[in-house]
Amino acid sequence: MAGIFDSVVDPAVQRLLRSESQLLVRLGETLEREQVEERRRVDDLLAGLEDLFTIVVVGEFNAGKSSIINALFGQRLRREGPIPVDDRISLLRHADEESERRLSDFVVEQFYPIDFLRNITLVDTPGTNSIVQRHQEITEDYIPRADLVLFVTSIDRPLSESERKFLEYIHDWGKKLVFVLNKIDTKTPEEVVQVLDYLQSNTRAIFGFQPVIFPVSGKLALESKLGALPPREWTRSNFEGLENYIFKVLSEKERVRIKLQAPLDTVLSLGRKQFVMIDSRRKLLAADHNRLGAITAQLTLANEDLTANFQQFISRIDNLMMELERRGIDFLDRFVRIGHLFVLRDPLRFREEFDRQVFMNWHGSIDSTVQESVDWLVRENMKLWNGTVEAFRRQVEVDARDPVLIGEVGRQFAYNREEVYSRLRTETEKRLSAYDLGIESRRIIDGAMRGVFQSVGLGVGALGLGYLFTSAVSSMALDVTGLTAATMLLVTSFLILPYKRSKAKYEFRGRIEELRGQVRASLTRESTTEIDRIIRGITGAFEPYERFYKSESQKVERFSESLKAIHRETQTITESIAAL
């Protein structure tokens, strides 16, 4: 079947045709895989370039579409009736003999030996606003393929609410639109003028363009052509103006111009929809970025809070050591005297008395404080995990339940985003389910003890921090007093013992202060390391989502740049068409 461009030899037209074909191919390749409908429309546009000039006749059922087509034919070939009489798209084409060929469940080609169909394909559509929703759907599906839309409306209900919505759909696709105001024979000339004014003013106000309107009576025109009515009824039908427009005003040159421009209008319309989707994705990704940023800020504050709050336990341990120092000094002051000579001469007894009066279950207090600090840290870790992930889950699921948002951003994008979050959620649940509080506490305590042992220069093997200090301080107390030497010199001079007592207290205080500093530094270091590990663990759980955000942001921007380039080329071709 010959196309509209087969007989056109103008090189400028041929160049534009090639440019437009290449543009449509690029657009089809640019659209995402999930956009099946949009890609199909582009394929239809590409195939339509090779077809004849296509006029699609639309309108509500009982508006008189069939009578208009029959009047154009001059024959009663299309069924007419007060109820919906057709449920499929009919492509009316030229052939020497009348025939029919089904292209799909909802599209049929019908061939008629009618001369004007040699240059035009006329498309008859099911009536819109019928009780059969499928009628409107298949009609809307064919609008993007039209080069020109004849919108048939009845004079007794022009621009109804359902017509206005359908006109918005046509206008959104950027289609060239011509109104056919049918059944003017049912109104007086004055009423016809009033309806025309109403239709023109409301179309300008609602859609922003000056409509081309042909007021006609399809019934009078057909009956006149068939000879059933006198010639004056043909004049009264006002049908000649519509025929002149279709068969004369739409000359071959004008049809070529419209044929070239129509796909570009659809491309621009598709582009607008794509940019709406891109903007929606940007907003959603920006929200994700803000959420990830909020998590980072929250974890930074959590790090500071955990570090600050853990200091209370370090301070409690430090206070216990200061209390130990006070009791040790008091013990040395009381026992390193001549009255306790027998105790001083027996190192084992002195050690036992030192342990009893100075420690007084001190090692149990310090061990329980360490255990309490670690239990607190483990609980805070669990709380932080649950709070962070749960808050993020609620925010993301709000987006996932929004059908408008999903429709705007594209279902595949929404699905990919939800899949990444599902993996994050699954991994988090897996981590938390394997998180044993007892094992985790033991791990932290063992790590902290190793750090403390190394700090004070002792080997690992003590049962706890309190036991470590008890051993270290008791040995130190014996070392600093020099009791054996004091006893040997006691008979020589009573002045030695006060000197030794003063020296023992001084050195004991110094060693305790040194030990306190080492313990504070070690516990601070180990708690900071553990808190950093907690924060890194939670941050790491969100890394897949961070990667998704970055990769999708890059994809969106690449998609946007490709569409912008297509949009610029579309405008360039449009300007060239206007200059033909």
Q: For residue 213, what are its two tokens?
A: 């309107």
List beta partners, residue 57: 124, 150
C-alpha separations of 475 from 39, 317, 469 in Å: 85, 20, 10
Cβ-contact 65, 58 below 8 angstroms: yes
How far, in Å, CA of 128 to CA of 253, rounded? 32
- The reported pLDDT for the residue numbered 505 is 81
Residues 6 or more apart whose Cβ sits within 8 Å of residue 391? none
- The reported pLDDT for the residue numbered 486 is 46
* pLDDT per residue as tens, the chain (580 positions): 556 666 665 788 889 989 999 999 999 999 987 788 889 889 888 888 888 889 999 988 788 888 999 999 998 887 765 544 566 888 999 999 999 999 888 889 999 999 888 888 999 888 776 545 555 666 777 788 888 999 999 998 888 888 888 888 888 888 889 999 999 999 999 999 999 999 999 999 888 888 999 999 999 999 999 989 998 999 999 999 999 998 888 887 888 888 899 899 989 988 998 999 899 889 888 988 898 898 899 999 999 999 999 899 889 888 988 988 898 888 888 876 766 666 666 667 777 777 788 777 777 787 788 778 878 887 888 888 888 877 777 777 766 656 655 566 766 766 676 777 677 667 666 665 655 555 555 555 565 556 555 555 555 444 555 555 666 565 655 554 444 444 444 444 455 667 777 877 888 788 888 878 877 887 888 888 888 888 888 888 888 888 888 998 999 999 999 999 999 999 999 999 988 7
> Beta 99-102 vs 212-215: how paired, if at all?
unpaired
* Helix axes 161-172 and 189-207, enclosed angle (nearest 10): 50
- In one-letter notation, the amino acid at residue 13 is V
- The reported pLDDT for the residue numbered 192 is 94
Label residue 529 exposed, middle or buried (CB < 10 Å: 0-12, 13-18, 19+): middle
Residues 6 or more apart whose Cβ sits within 8 Å of residue 372? 313
What is the residue-wise DSSP string for 151-212? EEEETTSTT-HHHHHHHHHHHHTT--EEEEEE-GGGS-HHHHHHHHHHHHHHHHHHHSS--E
- The reported pLDDT for the residue numbered 545 is 83
> CB 60: neighbour CB atoms within 10 A?
22
- The reported pLDDT for the residue numbered 137 is 65
Query: Helix or strand or coil: residue 265?
Result: helix
Cβ-contact 129, 164 below 8 angstroms: no
- The reported pLDDT for the residue numbered 441 is 52
- The reported pLDDT for the residue numbered 462 is 46
What are the percentages of helix, strand and coil residues in the chain, rounded to 5? 70, 10, 20
